[in-house]
Structure 1
Amino acid sequence: MKFFRKIRQRLLSENKFSKYLLYAVGEIILVVIGILIALQINNRSELKKIRKQEVSLLSNLANEIQLDILQIENNTSLATQRLARLDSLVHWLEHPERVDRSAFVQQSFEFVFDQYFKSNSGIFDEAVSSGRMSYVQNEGLRQNIFDYYRNANESDNDGTTRQVTDELITPIFVETLFMNPEGFSTLGLHVENISNLESIDLGALANNKDFWKMVLLKFGSNREQIERWQEIKTLAQEIQQQIKQELKNLE
């Protein structure tokens, strides 16, 4: 600044107004260039900060979606194993005279058990509410992420299964499999000398339409669940792959 001030003073003292004017214009241009450079540096710094936040958000979303995939795999495994055990239980009725009635009733409790999927959407929900989803600069990827969580959270399949179990399967289970001394004994209650409840008749159960209705509802609703979970898993794997590719691009 001292250097420029001396030049201005010398030009003014020598009455070289045209040169002073040219110098003044040049000085203004230098100041403007300096401001533009400062703004550019600041913009780059802010952009770098936003890109860092984008990488962090995408990494966290990928991890969160991985939890969905693991949950679906676990649910599928448990539900498939349960259906296999119930299928085996049903086939015990081919030879009811060989079956331990208490063991049959105890294992039949699996008719009223289910698995349910709930998306791990904490990171996504917070990013939406805080506006941080705008950090994702790839518009197509951002829309696909929204679509995935909408599909994962709006499925009413599990809700239907829960309703079927609570309102249809459970009443049949209680009536056909539990209202007998064997059923009460599974809860540690021995009512043989108190009530007139008859022991479960497995031979008659094999011809009980309500029992087979329960079997149909159980296998139908659970297999429908498994199919829906696999659809969500496929979507999760696709969006997870897109996120990983975007992270590579950002690197």
Structure 2
Amino acid sequence: MNTKYFKYALGEIVLVVIGILIALSINNWNEERKSSLLELKLLKEVEVSMKEDSLLLNNAIARMQRQSRIAEGIRAHFSQRKAYHDTLDTSFGRVSFLFNTQFSYAAYESLTLAGLNLIRNDSLRLQLPDYYHFLKNIEEVGQEFDLPVYFRTTIYPKYFNSFSWGEDGAHPADYDRLLNSSDFMVALDYVRNDSRFYTNNYKEIYSMNQKLLKMIRTELKSRE
């Protein structure tokens, strides 16, 4: 009798253990599935955000290259001691358009809040933080340059009697004085050097952006 009871009890225990293991397995599968769905959702949001970044980066590169050309054009005009012409006013006004590009970090912050360990792809998990660190770093550097403020507070009030963001640009109060001013020439050098700095860094970030976008798209496609 005892033997039969023992076998029965052992069978019950085995069934309970098997039931627990099955329940744990189902629970783990559900958790993994939830984690996988959350990962894909967040990666899709990051993909959309990085597509917007790529457009902003392309525009920023074009803008910085234009700023460099404007500064170089004014400098060349001055170095040749050419006479004033009102077409210069547009360049005088636009040369200070060296504003920094602002990017969105909302999608990446949602991902980091959920945990970067959600990302199964090791390369993607390691390289995404570098990309966003680079973006933030270039914005912080831009705050240090702050050339538009220097032009507004120093250059334009000192050498120009009018200023407009439009075609009218900035009209010099005394062209000969402007032509011989060292601080205006140095300001042009700042524009030229800073715009080149931005251009090179934006190009590097854009390259990272395209590489990561390709990785994200490949990851999403493999999990469809």
Alignment TM class, shorter chain as reference = 0.7 to 0.9
Matched, 1:137 2:120: yes
Relative to structure 1, the CA distance from residue 142 to residue 22 in structure 2 (aligned partners, 3 Å threshold; closer, same or farther) is: same
Q: Determine which of 156, 175, 193 is the counterpart of 1:201.
A: 175
Relative to structure 1, the CA distance from residue 234 to residue 66 in structure 2 (aligned partners, 3 Å threshold; closer, same or farther) is: same
Structure 1 residue aligned with 2:169 = none
Q: Please, which moves more after superposition, 116-125 or 132-141?
A: 132-141
Which structure exhibits the higher relative contact order, with contacts defined as CA atoms closer than 8 Å and separated by 6 or more residues? 2
- The answer to whether the Cα contact below 8 Å between 2:64 and 2:195 also exists between their aligned partners in 1 is yes
Q: Determine which of 22, 45, 51 is the counterpart of 2:36.
A: 51
Percent identical? 24
Structure 1 residue aligned with 2:203 = 230
> SS state of the match for residue 115, structure 1?
coil
Separation in 2, partners of 1:234, 1:52:
28
After TM superposition, the structure 1 = structure 2 runs for residues 137-156 of structure 1, keeping only pairs within 5 Å, are 137-155=120-138, 156=140
Structure 2 residue aligned with 1:105 = 89
Please, what TM-score do these two structures have when normalized by structure 1?
A: 0.72
Segments of 5+ residues of structure 1 without an aligned counterpart are 1-15, 188-197
Separation in 1, partners of 2:190, 2:89:
18
Structure 2 residue aligned with 1:123 = 107
1:77-114 CA distance string (max 9 Å, x none): 223234334544555555844723xx433441112221
Structure 2 residue aligned with 1:240 = 213
| Amino acid corresponding to residue 64 of structure 2 in structure 1 | A
Structure 2 residue aligned with 1:212 = 185
Structure 1 residue aligned with 2:150 = 167
- The answer to whether the Cα contact below 8 Å between 2:128 and 2:212 also exists between their aligned partners in 1 is yes
Please say which structure displays the higher CA radius of gyration: 1
Please, what TM-score do these two structures have when normalized by structure 2?
A: 0.79
The count of aligned residue pairs is: 216
Relative to structure 1, the CA distance from residue 150 to residue 36 in structure 2 (aligned partners, 3 Å threshold; closer, same or farther) is: same
